[in-house]
Amino acid sequence: AQSVAQPEDQVNVAEGNPLTVKCTYSVSGNPYLFWYVQYPNRGLQFLLKYITGDNLVKGSYGFEAEFNKSQTSFHLKKPSALVSDSALYFCAVRDHSGYSTLTFGKGTMLLVSP
């Protein structure tokens, strides 16, 4: 069975500093990997995805993520955090089979202080 681990319930960072939100996964074969963001009382919004190809994926709002196959990780990064980046972030994975569904991690709350 596929699974996602987000080891940190919360990440605190000061505005202007780089941020990393960690994600590791377990899946049979090659993964599809996604990051979503959820602002308070809103639905989830897609940030970026890895399907194949370059290990560094760039997404919305200046976020990027690095796929590391040997470490089965897909950490979300941003060079300079903004207060407006404060939100709940979810990593998700599925395999490449025809009818595999998406499995989400438990989420990491990112708090960016002014």
Partner 1 sequence: NAGVTQTPKFQVLKTGQSMTLQCAQDMNHEYMSWYRQDPGMGLRLIHYSVGAGITDQGEVPNGYNVSRSTTEDFPLRLLSAAPSQTSVYFCASSYSMSGELFFGEGSRLTVL
Which residues are 50's β-sheet partners? 33
How many CB atoms neighbour CB 36 within 10 A?
21
CB 90 within 8 A of CB 81: no
Binding of partner 1 at residue 43 (CB under 8 A)? yes
Binding of partner 1 at residue 40 (CB under 8 A)? no
Stretch that binds partner 1, among 12-20, 21-29, 66-74, 103-111 (CB under 8 A): 103-111
The continuous run of DSSP H or E covering 19 comes out as strand 19-21
CB 66 within 8 A of CB 55: yes
Q: Could you tell me which of 108, 114, 111 has the C-alpha nearest to residue 4?
A: 108
Binding of partner 1 at residue 101 (CB under 8 A)? yes
Pick between residue 78 and residue 94 the one whose CB is nearest to partner 1. 94
Among 21, 24, 36, 81, binds partner 1 (CB under 8 A): 36
Binding of partner 1 at residue 31 (CB under 8 A)? no
The residue ranges that bind partner 1 (CB under 8 A) are 9, 32, 34, 36, 41-46, 49, 51, 90, 94, 96, 98-107
